[in-house]
Amino acid sequence: MDFYFGLAQLIGVHTLLGLSAYVVLLTGQVSLAQAGFFAIGAYVAAMLTVLAGWHLVPALGAAALTGATTACAVGFPALRVKGLMLVIATLAFGEGVRLFFFNFDYQIARGDVKVGPLGGEGFRQIRFFPENGWTTLEVMLFIWIFVLLVMALLWWLDRSRYGAVLRAVGEDELAAQSAGINLTAVKVSAITLGGAIAALGGGLYAHYATHIEHLSFGILLATFAIAYPIVGGLASVFGTLAAVLFVQGFLVEGLRDLGDWRNLLFGALIVLAMNLRPRGFLDAGNLRAIKRLFWGGGRGAP
Amino acid sequence: MPALLEVADLVTAYGKIEALKGVTLEVAEGGITCLLGPNGAGKTTLMYSIAGILKPRRGSIRLRGEELGGCAPHEAVSRGIALVPENRLVFPSMSVIDNLEAGAYRRQGGRTGRGEIDADLQRMFGRFPRLKERSAQLAGTLSGGEQQMLAVARALMSRPKLLLMDEPSLGLAPLVVEEIFRIVSELHRDGTTVFLVEQNAHMALKVAQHFYLMEQGRVSFSGDPGSLAEDEVIRRAYLGSAK
Amino acid sequence: MLADLVQNTLDGLAAGSAYALLAVGFTLIFGVLRRVNLCYGPAIMLGCYAATFVHLSFGAGLLVLALVCVLASVLAGGYVERLCFAPHRKGSGIAAMVASFALWMQLEEVAILALPKHLYPFPALYDGKPIDLAGFTIRVEALVMLGAASVVCAALWWVLYRTRFGIAARAVIDSPLAAELSGISVPRVSMGVFALASAIGGLAGFLVSASFEQVTPMLGMWSTFKGLLAMMLGGLGSLPGAVAGALVLGLVEAHSQWFLGPQLRDLLAFLMLFMLLAIGPRWMTTR
C-alpha cells in the first residue's frame, strides 16, 4: 500500500507544480522558471525545518512567500519580453537557480553530524516527517490537503473577475489593454501566484523525499511543469490534474514494467497527444460535453 | 477572346466563416480584368485561393481548361500563375537581384535555362531602370514604389500566363500610382494577361477591358467599363450596394 | 599571467568555434521554423552515440566517425522535424515545444539503450604533443576546431549566397508567404535547411566529442544550451551575430573559469543571458 501512497504524494506535488505553470499560462506566458521556484521552495522549507528547527507548516508558508517574492522580482524584468524570448529568459533563470544550489554550501553541526545543503552533494537528512513519526498515509493526506486547497483557490479564482482578466490577457493582449487592463500588473501577479504555488510544492517535495539535490530541478522538471497544463488543456484546473495522472500515474508508473522502453513510448505518446489535441485534453468544447454528462441540462449547447 | 481563367462556384472559408460564397468569373486571355469591391468583400481571399495559398472548400479554378483548385502555391507558379501580393511582400533582407532570382526559382536551370533567366533579368532592368541602379541593395531599403516594382518584376520572372495583382496602388503616392498603372498597361500591350484587384476604381476602369464588382463574398456586377456610371461603380466599390 | 591570458583566450576561441557551429545550426532552424528546436542538441548527441557505436564495433577511424556523426545527426534531426515541427507548422508553438521535449527524452533513452554505460571514450582529435610557440603552448585540437569552424562557415556562406538552394533558403527565412508565391516549396526547403543545420550540428558534436575524448548522454543538453546561449547573445536570427555571440561566450567562459572556477562559470553564462533578455537593449529581443 505504501507504494501507492508514495505515488499519490508524487502526483500531489506534481499537480501543484503543474498548477503553478497553469496560472502563468492562463495569461499566455510560457514559463520554464517554475522548476526554479520549486527548487527555492524546497531548499527554503528544508533549511527552516532542519537548520532552524521550525515546524513544517510555517516553513511551507515562508517557502511560498520566498517563491512569490522571487517570482515577483523576476517577473518585472522578464515580462518585458514575450513569447519565445520569455521561454528562454525563464529557462535561463531556472538553470541559474539550479546552478546556484549546485554551488550553495551552508552546513551546521548538529550533534556529531553536519546537516544542511552541500553543493553538488545535495541536502540530505530532511527528516521532519520521520522524526515526528508521520506515516506515509499521513504524509500523503497532508500533501493532498494543500493540493485541494490550491485547486479550490484556483477554481474559485477562475470564476472571479480576476480569472476573467487573466484569460483576457492570455487571449488577446491588445484587446485586454484597450479594455483598460494593466498588462504588467496582471502578468506579474500571475507569475507571483505561480511562484508561491511552485515553492509550496517544492517544500512538500523536499520533506517527503528527505534528500534533494540540484539535478532534480533541471530543465526536465521545468518541462514537466509546463507540459501538464498544456497536455491537460487550459479550460479548467482539472485538465492539469488529469494530465499529471496520465503522465505520472499511467506513463511513468503504469508503464514501469516496460523497463527501459518506457521512455521511448512515453515520448511517442506525448507527441501523439500533442499532434491529435494541440489544445490539450480538456478544451472549452469537451469540457462543456463533460458538464452536460454530469449535470444533464444543455448548458452552453449552441 | 477565349477565357484564360475560369472560376466557378468557388467557396473558401476560414473555419466556419465563408469568405467566398460561390464566386463565378472569367479572365479573358490577353486582357486586363479588374475586380472592385469594398474591404472585406473577399477579394484578397479570391486571389489567395487562385494562387493556392488558401484551399477552396468547393468549386473549380481552371487555367486554360486545366483544373488548379487545391494545388500547392509552388505548383500554381509552375502552371503559370504569379501573384503580386498585397503590401508588396518583397524579401527585405535579400538584394534586389536575389529577389528576382527567387522569382525565377521554378524555371529550369541548365545552360539554356540560365541564359534565358539572365536575358529576362536584363529585360526587367530595362523595364525598371531604378531596380538596375539598386540591384545590389537590400530590398528592405527601397522606397514603397520601388518595392512594388520589384514585386511585379519578381512575379514576371516566373514567366506567368496570368499575373494576379492585389491592390498594387495601396499606400503609394499619386505619381507612383500613375507609374504603376502605366506599367500595367505596358504589360498588357506586351501580351500579359492581368487580373487586378483595386480600390482605386477610377484608375482601374481606365486600364481594364472588363470588370467585376464583388460584395460580401459574391460577384454582384459584371460588365465593361462603360456599362455602369463611374460614380455608381465607385459608390458600390467603396460602400457596397445599399441594403 | 600574460601567458595564462593568451592561453585562455586561445582556449576560449576554440570552444567558441564549436559553439559557433551549434549556434549557426540553431539560427538556421529558427529562421525557417520561427521556433526554437530544443531537441537540436539531443539529435546531435544521438549522432555522436552512433559514431561511438561504430567505433566500438568496427574500430573505424576519425573521418568515418565524422561522417557517421553527421549522417546520424541528420537522420535524428529529420525524425524530430517530422514529428514535432511539420505537424505544427501553422499551429501552436507551445505544442511543438512540448513535443520536442518528449522526443528529447526519447532520444536520450535510445542512446542509453544502445550504450548503457554512463561514459564512453571517443578517439582523440589529435594524439601528439601541443605545439610550443614563443613560450606559449598551443593545443592542436584548438587549432583544428578553429579551422574546421572557419571552413564550415565559409562553405555555408557559399551555399546561402551562391546557390539556387541558398536563394530559396534565404527567401523562406525572410518571408515564407512571399517564398510560396515565388514558387518555392516552403516545406521542402525547410526540410533541406533543417538537414543542413543538423549536419553542421553533427560536425560540431564530432569535434566536441573528439576534443573531450568522451561522450555522455549529457552532450544533448550541453549542445542545446551552448548553442542557444550563443545564438541569443548574438541577437536572435542573425548568422554573423550567432558566430560573434559564440566567440564571446567561449572567451567569457574561458576567462571566468580561470578566475572563478568551472561551476560559477556556467552560472555566470546563464545570468548573462537572463540579464541581457530582461534588461538588455531592445534590439536583442525584438523579432
Per-residue pLDDT tens for C14-29?
Answer: 899 999 999 999 999 9
Residues ≥6 apart with Cβ < 8 Å to C217: C45, C108, C111, C112, C118
Q: How far is C83 from chain A (nearest CA, A)?
A: 7
| CB-based contact, B95 to chain C, within 8 Å | no
Is A123 within 8 Å of A40 (Cβ atoms)?
no
pLDDT at position A169? 87
- Select the residue from A70, A74, A95 to test the C interface by mutation, using most C Cβ atoms within 10 A: A95
Instruction: Identify the band that residue B243 occupies on the pLDDT scale cut at 50, 70 and 90.
Output: very low
Alpha carbon distance C104, C113 (integer Å): 14
Residues ≥6 apart with Cβ < 8 Å to C105: A220, A263, A266, A267
Average of per-residue pLDDT values in chain B: 89
Q: Which of B98, B159, B165 is nearest to B134 (CA)?
A: B98
Looking at residues B102-111, what average pLDDT do you find?
A: 84
- Select the residue from A26, A27, A31, A88 to test the C interface by mutation, using most C Cβ atoms within 10 A: A88
> How many CB pairs lie under 8 A apart between chains B and C?
68
Specify the DSSP element, H or E, that contains C281: none
DSSP-based three-state secondary structure for C98: helix
pLDDT at position A23? 93
Q: Which of B13, B8, B43, B4 is nearest to B24 (CA)?
A: B8
User: DSSP string covering B64-87, please?
Assistant: TTEE-TT--HHHHHHHTEEEE-TT
* Residues paired with residue B84 on neighbouring β-strands, in sequence order: B165
Are the Cβ atoms of C99 and A274 closer than 8 angstroms? yes
So what's the ipTM on this one?
0.89
| CB-based contact, B160 to chain C, within 8 Å | no
Alpha carbon distance C107, C44 (integer Å): 10
Are the Cβ atoms of B102 and C185 closer than 8 angstroms? no
* Chain A residues closer than 8 Å to C273 by CB: 88-89, 92
Q: How far is C278 from chain A (nearest CA, A)?
A: 5
Q: Which of A118, A121, A92, A115 is nearest to A104 (CA)?
A: A118
Q: How far is C232 from chain B (nearest CA, A)?
A: 20
How large is the angle between the packed helices C219-233 and C2-33, nearest 10 degrees?
90
Alpha carbon distance C232, C283 (integer Å): 11
Alpha carbon distance C227, A40 (integer Å): 27
Task: Write down which chains contact chain B via at least 3 CB pairs under 8 A.
Answer: C
| CB-based contact, C109 to chain A, within 8 Å | yes
**Has residue A239 been placed in a domain?**
no
**Has residue B149 been placed in a domain?**
no
Q: pTM (2 decimals)?
A: 0.82
Q: How far is A81 from chain C (nearest CA, A)?
A: 7
| CB-based contact, B74 to chain C, within 8 Å | yes
Instruction: Identify the band that residue A259 occupies on the pLDDT scale cut at 50, 70 and 90.
Output: low
Higher pLDDT, A259 or C202: C202
Cβ contact B–A (≥3 pairs, < 8 Å): no
| CB-based contact, C144 to chain B, within 8 Å | no
Total number of domains constituting chain B: 1
Per-residue pLDDT tens for C139-178?
Answer: 888 888 899 999 999 999 999 999 999 999 999 999 999 9
The end-to-end CA distance of chain B, in Å, is: 35
Interface of A with C (CB under 8 A): 30, 77-78, 80-81, 83-85, 87-89, 91-93, 95-96, 99-100, 102-103, 119, 218-220, 223, 226-227, 230-231, 260-264, 266-271, 274-275, 278-279
Total number of domains constituting chain C: 1
Cell of C68: 557517421
pLDDT at position C287? 44
Are the Cβ atoms of A268 and C112 closer than 8 angstroms? no
* Chain C residues closer than 8 Å to B106 by CB: 183-184
Q: Closest chain A residue to C104 measured between Cα atoms?
A: A267
CATH code of the domain covering residue C95: 1.10.3470
**Has residue A302 been placed in a domain?**
no
Alpha carbon distance A72, C32 (integer Å): 35
**Has residue A293 been placed in a domain?**
no
Are the Cβ atoms of B158 and C170 closer than 8 angstroms? no
Q: How far is B231 from chain C (nearest CA, A)?
A: 35
Residues ≥6 apart with Cβ < 8 Å to C7: C136, C137
- Select the residue from B75, B79, B88, B94 to test the C interface by mutation, using most C Cβ atoms within 10 A: B94
Q: The domain containing residue C237 runs over which residues?
A: 2-284
Cα–Cα–Cα angle for B27, B33, B38, rounded to 5 degrees: 115
Is B217 a residue whose pLDDT tops 80?
yes
Most confident of C68-77, C136-145, C212-221: C68-77
What is the per-residue burial (b if ≥16 Cβ within 10 Å, else e) of A255-286?
beeeeeebbbebbebbbebbbeebbbbbbeeb
Q: How far is B153 from chain C (nearest CA, A)?
A: 11
Q: Which of B153, B190, B180, B196 is nearest to B37 (CA)?
A: B196
Looking at residues A196-221, what average pLDDT do you find?
A: 91
Is B242 a residue whose pLDDT tops 60?
no
Cell of C103: 522526443
Amino acid letter, C51: A
| Residue B29: other Cβ atoms inside 10 A | 15
Amino acid letter, C14: A
Is A246 within 8 Å of A255 (Cβ atoms)?
no
Is C94 a residue whose pLDDT tops 90?
no
pLDDT at position A296? 55
Q: Determine what percent of chain A is predicted with pLDDT higher than 90.
A: 32
Pairing of strands B210-215, B218-223: antiparallel
**Has residue B113 been placed in a domain?**
no
**Has residue B127 been placed in a domain?**
no
Task: Write down which chains contact chain C via at least 3 CB pairs under 8 A.
Answer: A, B
Residue B137, burial from CB neighbour count under 10 angstroms (0-12, 13-18, 19+): middle
What is the per-residue burial (b if ≥16 Cβ within 10 Å, else e) of C248-265?
bbbbbbbbbbbeeeeebb
Q: How far is C235 from chain A (nearest CA, A)?
A: 11
Angstrom distances, CA of residue B156 to CA of B87, B123, B132, C33: 17, 10, 16, 28
Q: The domain containing residue A105 runs over which residues?
A: 2-232
Are the Cβ atoms of C88 and A278 closer than 8 angstroms? yes
Instruction: Identify the band that residue A301 occupies on the pLDDT scale cut at 50, 70 and 90.
Output: very low
Total number of domains constituting chain A: 1
CATH code of the domain covering residue B26: 3.40.50.300
Looking at residues B3-11, what average pLDDT do you find?
A: 92
Per-residue pLDDT tens for A223-252?
Answer: 888 888 888 888 788 888 988 888 888 777
pLDDT at position C280? 67
**Has residue A49 been placed in a domain?**
yes
| CB-based contact, C32 to chain B, within 8 Å | no
Q: The domain containing residue B187 runs over which residues?
A: 3-91+159-239
Instruction: Identify the band that residue A299 occupies on the pLDDT scale cut at 50, 70 and 90.
Output: very low
Alpha carbon distance A43, A56 (integer Å): 13
| Residue C275: other Cβ atoms inside 10 A | 14
Q: How far is A269 from chain C (nearest CA, A)?
A: 9
Alpha carbon distance C279, C287 (integer Å): 16
Q: Which of A162, A220, A203 is nearest to A23 (CA)?
A: A162
Sheet strands (E) in B15-111: 17-28, 32-36, 58-63, 66-67, 81-84
